[in-house]
Amino acid sequence: MPVKQGSGSRKSAKVFGQGQKNAKMVRAALYARVSTQDQQTLPMQNRAMREYAARRGWAIVMQVKEVGSGALQRQQREKLIEAARRREIDVVLVWRLDRWGRSVTDLLATLQELEHLGVGFVSLTEALDLTTPAGRAMAALLAVFASFEREILGERVRAGLAHARQNGKRLGFFVKFGEGTQGIS
């Protein structure tokens, strides 16, 4: 009678949750921003993002905190994007989309650059996760609506200018010279 071999205490590699290869550790960068020095939400933003990253099993390799409102250049955010360009991070985690982008155009441009670099993007409070197919589909929809919004705004401006011209309004910059006012268009 043949003897069964390997019937000892070895565990099967096919048992759920066992024998899986270790996945590459995801390197996360956290970005927190407040508009003014008076706001005290930076610690709350960072705590929530750290907890989320831990639940996902991500290694936090960069934490960026920025204070400023409407700044044309967000220096700390730019450093984070530079790290993405150097392939030092795999995903950017933010508290809210409005913390990351100054405008819809800026938001979409930076999200497209991150996507091109192969860096994921997650917005915690909006549950927008561009590391998943559903999240990328949602971002594409946002881009479509942003484009639609820009086109509608342009149409409204052109219609308003045409209406003003039809009603005899002078458009442009006006300078007062002597007796009358002359328009410069």
What is the H or E stretch that residue 47 is in?
A: helix 42-56
Asked whether 138 and 128 are in contact (CB, 8 A), the reply is: yes
Separation CA 39–CA 94 (nearest Å): 17
Catalytic residue among 7, 9, 12, 35: 35
End-to-end CA distance of the chain: 103
Q: What is the 8-class DSSP label of residue 93?
A: E
Q: For tokens 């609506």, what's the residue? A: 145
Separation CA 184–CA 93 (nearest Å): 49
Starting at the earlier edge strand, list the strands of the sheet with 91-94: 59-67, 27-34, 91-94, 120-123, 128-129
Tell me how far the alpha carbon of residue 86 is from its chain's centroid: 18
9 is catalytic: no
Q: Decide: helix, strand or coil at residue 91.
A: strand
Give which of 16, 47, 14 is closest to 30, Cα–Cα: 47
Active site residues: 35
